[in-house]
Amino acid sequence: MRSRLAPSPTGALHVGNVRTFLLTWLHVRAAGGTLVLRVDDLDGPRVKRGAERDALDDLRWLGLDWDEAEGVLVQSQRGAVYEAVADDLVARGLAYPCVCTRSEVETAASAPHGPDGPRYPGTCRGRFSSLADAVARTGRPAALRFVAAPGPAAFDDLLFGPQAFDPHAETGDFVVFKSNGTAAYQLATVVDDDASAVDLVVRGADLLPSTSRQLLLHRALGLRPPRHLHLPLVVGPDGRRLAKRHGDTSVRALRAAGWTAPGLVGRVAETAGLAAPGERVSPRDLLARYDPARLTREPVVLDATAFAVAR
Ligand code: GLU
């Protein structure tokens, strides 16, 4: 088993991320697998200075390690690799330049849209011969969209069971290279999982629909897809994904408030039935208790009040 921890340094690591990373770590370490670190820092404007260093420091502080000998993939340093893959897709007619703005796509979409945005109706398909042609003829920056063939892309999630999202129907042709010149998440993650020989992807359940898009890319690129284990999200009492509005649950803030690593690992492990209330444990202590058959699919409800008293 080879998997990865892929923090996005767009903000501070919070207890929702900690739960995902702790369970990823347990799942891989309990199986004697290899865990690679990847830094998902492509989301340019949202990447915060210092957040990468803080995230890695928080992971180490919690006792979550990775196999350092495997090296670290830093996505912002892999532009040339992604560009070559994108060029290949365009050359094979599997991706095309698109100059539509976000609001034009919103306006053009006929159906109300789902969580992953409006469906792209294919406005720019067949319009341009190349990225340079698109920019020259419109004076606009151009993105690249992947042609999503009709029909569902099915997979068997290790926790959520059989899934079959239909990218063609849900998002339409999706962006694989952004108009600001960086690879989009879908392309980068597929290319990097392959580069690291990752055969099991563990991540939050918000990315279940993305998996079908990624499988289309694996297919187009002739890559063997990994297996998937999606974990339920941590949500606030309002049912929405844990965020600032639910109070500060960042590891930084909790450390500053006096939380110890075993206290925090214990509190998060409690939400997975792996620790007793008030128990202090290290990830290593939990290895003997971890049983993937006991993972549950329901979202975990927490907010800052669950962390009001440091331990
Ligand atoms: N960096 C992404 C996140 O923090 C994970 C992406 C993935 O696992 O594919 O949500």
Q: Are residues 135 and 183 part of one domain?
A: yes
Q: How far is Cα 86 from Cα 82, in angstroms, rounded to an integer?
A: 6
Q: Are residues 239 and 287 part of one domain?
A: yes
Q: The domain spanning residue 55 has which CATH number?
A: 3.40.50.620
Residue 41 in contact with ligand 1 by CB distance below 6 A: no
Residues with pLDDT less than 50, the chain: none
pLDDT at residue 78, as a whole number: 98
DSSP secondary structure of 200-220: EEEEEGGGHHHHHHHHHHHHH
pLDDT at residue 170, as a whole number: 95
Give the tens place of pLDDT for each residue, 13-24.
999 999 999 999
Residue 192 in contact with ligand 1 by CB distance below 6 A: no
Q: Are residues 28 and 67 part of one domain?
A: yes
Residues 6 or more apart whose CB falls under 8 angstroms from that of 271 comprise 19, 234, 300, 302
Identify the domain boundary among 129, 156, 187. Answer: 187
Q: Are residues 166 and 111 part of one domain?
A: yes
For 287, the domain range is 2-77+232-307
Any domain includes 223: no
What separation in Å is there between the alpha carbon of 38 and the centre of ligand 1? Answer: 9
pLDDT at residue 46, as a whole number: 79
Any domain includes 148: yes
Q: Are residues 28 and 128 part of one domain?
A: no
Residues 6 or more apart whose CB falls under 8 angstroms from that of 151 comprise 166, 168
Q: Which one-letter amino acid corresponds to residue 280?
A: R
Any domain includes 192: no
Q: The domain spanning residue 150 has which CATH number?
A: 3.90.800.10
| Prediction pTM value | 0.96
Distance of CA 272 to the CA centre of its chain: 21
Identify the domain boundary among 187, 205, 220. Answer: 187
Residue 203 in contact with ligand 1 by CB distance below 6 A: yes
Q: Are residues 153 and 83 part of one domain?
A: yes
Any domain includes 211: no
Number of separate domains in the chain: 2
Identify the domain boundary among 187, 213, 241. Answer: 187
What separation in Å is there between the alpha carbon of 205 and the centre of ligand 1? Answer: 10
